[in-house]
Chains A and B, each alone.
Chain A
């Protein structure tokens, strides 16, 4: 394809320096992901899936090699530019939801808007987004610890989507949910992909990986199949 990829990893390695010696979590990984692709990343536990996701989410920078997102070399950005890119371009959905415990469901979704516009939201966008993922108004006033796992994940998805990111990173989003709820969450993600999002999904479940266009298999930090 001649079009510049949305995400490009060239020879990316990540080495953790531990007391027991160096540990290579990503080992010369090269990969292109185009806009509006739906990619599943699979592999055994400890193969480096989350490490890869953290790189794509600009939470981590490669030890060696280069990572380009939207044509920008992530290693060359300042910390603040990376923060803004994380805020504006990337929606990250975690296995453990990671909602802010002191904020209500509504405020959790509103939060990225506040980060971006530096003021409270008055457009009703956050409420709309919550409705879209199936959280009603009554539920919106609850704190995360008053919600079920499925509800929390819906809120987390709404939070990830609120700033209209181009990239949606999902690290085992259904891993902590029962099968039925897991499929409901997957329906939301598939729908988002249909609306133009680039979705990158880590999963252990081959049934869920079936939804993807492309499956990348990791083992010991290397891509062993795609």
Chain B
């Protein structure tokens, strides 16, 4: 070994092996707490991010203008995007897919059970652009519809099932036939919550609800997600050139705020883990003070034969670093195992555990553990180096 002071520290730690080991356990616990909390938080963030970012490439456009219309002597307020606005959107969206969407909510009856859900009216050609069919096939038009996974399982729907649309007290309700059942898509960040919806062809929709050429929402699916803000501003410039006609949004801002919130939570739970390191710091400090007190005469010898104060300081800091490294290495290994179990238990899924963003918390926790040890060792080391050599020599 190059440095005799390091050698001395190693020997001192070995001489008091049990005591040193016990002090290191505090560091182990601290490192495990910080790393596994950090990993848990990151895994949470990553899984939420992946769930939400599925449709993050979609720009949602809805109307900002409320129109009052009179249909069959009933005046209804609605906000819609009209044909000319849609044309403007299409012309400013470039190569990207533009999907006009009709939406309303309705009651329906399946067999003898009544239910309630959304109805989306979509061009049958647009449906496969963002929805996938789990069973059956896509609708080709007419009164063939698709149903969301939640509705399908709640009402035991199969391909070929019939649904009566409209409140149960109305006569001559239209009947649609289930052509396919959609794959569950969870929280959709493109505004199309298909799981609890019935997707009907746009012609069927306008036949029954009117609203021809007036859409409730227009989605633009952007091919390259990095250009999303350019697309948004192009649409904004064209459509909202005089007055605010449509509201343009996408999921990325929501995603950012959710991940930021999760990040804050992660930091907070890591800080709680960090408290255990404070306890560890106290025990390291205690052990270092004991080591200094026990070795007063040795320190006197070192100083009296010409050891520099800095060298004495270094010797004790090495000791603190050794304790820290033992704690950090053991803690790092434990973090891996415990972190994996915690993530598995809390999230039920460890897909993201081995990602660098998640594993980085292990070295991160280890470094913090060692730094805490160095800080705890600073005062004892300083005290040792500032002893009066004669007083130190005289002590027994």
Residues of A bordering B, CB below 8 Å: 54, 57, 59-60, 79-80, 83-84, 86-88, 92, 94, 98-103, 107, 110-112, 114-116, 119-120, 159
Contacts and interface: CB of A to CB of B under 8 A. Distances in A.
A120 B2 contact: yes
B114 interface: no
B8 A112 contact: no
B305 A103 contact: no
Contacts of A111: 4, 305
A120 B12 CA distance: 20
B392 to A, nearest CB: 10
A21 B387 CA distance: 23
Interface in B109-151: none
What bracket does the count of chain B residues touching chain A fall in?
20 to 34
Contact of A79 (B7, B12, B304, B309): B309
Interface string B44-69: 00000000000000000000000000
Contacts of B4: 103, 107, 110-111, 114, 120
Contacts of A87: 305-307
B301 interface: yes
Nearest to A91: B305
A174 B305 CA distance: 19
Given A102-B11, A102-B12, A111-B4, A92 B305 contact: yes
Interface string B294-336: 0001101111111111010000000000000000000000000
A94 B7 CA distance: 25
Contacts of A112: 305-306
B311 A100 contact: no
17 contacts: A54-B390, A59-B390, A83-B308, A86-B305, A87-B305, A87-B307, A98-B301, A102-B298, A103-B4, A107-B7, A111-B4, A112-B305, A112-B306, A114-B4, A120-B2, A120-B4, A159-B305
Contact of A83 (B301, B306, B393): B306
Interface string B1-18: 010100110011001000
B307 A83 contact: yes
A83 B306 CA distance: 5
B389 interface: yes
A110 B3 CA distance: 12
Contacts of A115: 305-308, 311
Contacts of B297: 98
Contacts of A116: 306
Nearest to A54: B390
A98 B302 CA distance: 9
Contacts of B8: 100, 102-103
Contacts of B304: 57, 59, 86, 92, 98
A197 B305 CA distance: 18
Given A112-B306, A114-B4, 15 more contacts: A57-B304, A59-B304, A83-B303, A83-B306, A83-B308, A86-B305, A87-B305, A94-B393, A98-B297, A98-B300, A98-B301, A102-B8, A110-B4, A115-B311, A159-B305
Q: Is the interface of A mostly helix, strand, loop or mixed?
A: helix
Contacts of A83: 303, 306-309
Most B CB contacts (10 A, CB to CB) among A101, A102, A112 go to A102
B302 A100 contact: yes
Interface string B217-251: 00000000000000000000000000000000000
A170 to B, nearest CB: 14
B278 to A, nearest CB: 31
A102 B303 CA distance: 15
Nearest to A102: B11
Given A59-B389, A80-B308, A112-B305, A100 B298 contact: yes
Contacts of A86: 304-306
Interface in B355-396: 389-390, 393
A80 B14 CA distance: 31
A120 B393 CA distance: 26
A68 to B, nearest CB: 19
Most B CB contacts (10 A, CB to CB) among A79, A94, A100, A107 go to A100
Contacts of A54: 390
A115 B2 CA distance: 13
A64 B308 CA distance: 26
A57 B304 CA distance: 8
Contacts of B7: 107
A103 B114 CA distance: 89
B306 A88 contact: yes
Nearest to B394: A50
B7 to A, nearest CB: 8
Contacts of B309: 79-80, 83
A100 B5 CA distance: 12
Nearest to B14: A102
Contacts of B303: 83
A163 to B, nearest CB: 8
Contacts of A102: 8, 11-12, 15, 298
A119 B2 contact: yes
A2 to B, nearest CB: 32
A126 to B, nearest CB: 12
B298 A101 contact: yes
Contacts of B11: 102
Nearest to A119: B2
A98 B306 contact: no
